Copies of this chain bind each other. A is one copy, B any other.
Amino acid sequence: MSEAYTPTSRTQLRRRPARGVYDKARVHAILDEAFICHVGFVVDGQPYVMPTAYARIEDQVYVHGAAAGRFAAALGSGLDICLTVTLVDGLVLARSAFHHSINYRSVVALGRARVVTDPDEKRRAMASLTNHVVPDRWDEVRQPDEKELGTTTVLALALEEVSAKVRVGPPIDDEEDYAWPVWAGVVPIQMSAGAPVPDARVQPNLVFRTDRLQKRSAP
């Protein structure tokens, strides 16, 4: 049996509890498929929500930012944060406007970020941040020198207070609406990669095959 996160008053779904997912393996699968999160934090009472790349290693999610920037400074100061990851899977078209919906999988993680100071953990996190977006990229590129490591702040959020929310399946219409003469069902939505565009100075014998990106999103 797979382990699960313990719902708290802050992560327990009240409406539509059937959409709530606390199973660790399912939460991790969502985190491992997406690569952009939205991080919420509060400065002077005002919430801010910023998109950023992330990667998971076991029960830690890592993000990074410029050491000189506001984002890393705010997160590194021990603020409570919310890290949200959303995958949009489909448009749910019902016969009534009211029952339109979206199929999605989202994860919400609450906690305080920790600045990663251990050099080994920091390098491992940075390798994951790169490889999570493009599998196996870290080992083929020029890795960071001391100066680059110094200008990058890596932050870790421990996955402890976590929930996922998932909607799947067709629209559910009211019985009397099924005769309505309009198409109803799900339009699947996916993110996909187009043809790679080399920059002006790529050596002519080098190619990038987008099928390696599938390694990330494979279920």
Identify the A interface with B (CB < 8 A): 10, 14-15, 36, 38-42, 45-51, 53, 66, 68-70, 80-84, 86, 88, 90-91, 93-98, 100, 102, 104, 106, 108, 110, 126-127, 130, 133-134, 137-138, 140-144, 148, 152, 170-171, 177-178, 180-203, 206-208, 210, 213
Contacts and interface: CB of A to CB of B under 8 A. Distances in A.
Contact of A178 (B51, B97, B201): B201
B199 A184 contact: yes
A202 B188 contact: no
A42 B42 contact: yes
Most chain-B CB neighbours within 10 Å: which of A41, A48, A80?
A: A48
Contacts of A181: 203, 206
Contact of A208 (B48, B183, B196): B183
A108 B202 contact: no
B206 A51 contact: no
Given A93-B137, A186-B196, 9 more contacts: A15-B68, A40-B40, A53-B102, A100-B130, A102-B133, A171-B199, A185-B196, A187-B208, A191-B192
21 contacts: A14-B69, A14-B70, A15-B70, A36-B86, A38-B38, A41-B47, A47-B81, A48-B110, A51-B104, A95-B142, A96-B148, A97-B137, A97-B144, A98-B152, A100-B134, A102-B133, A184-B201, A185-B196, A185-B197, A188-B195, A192-B192
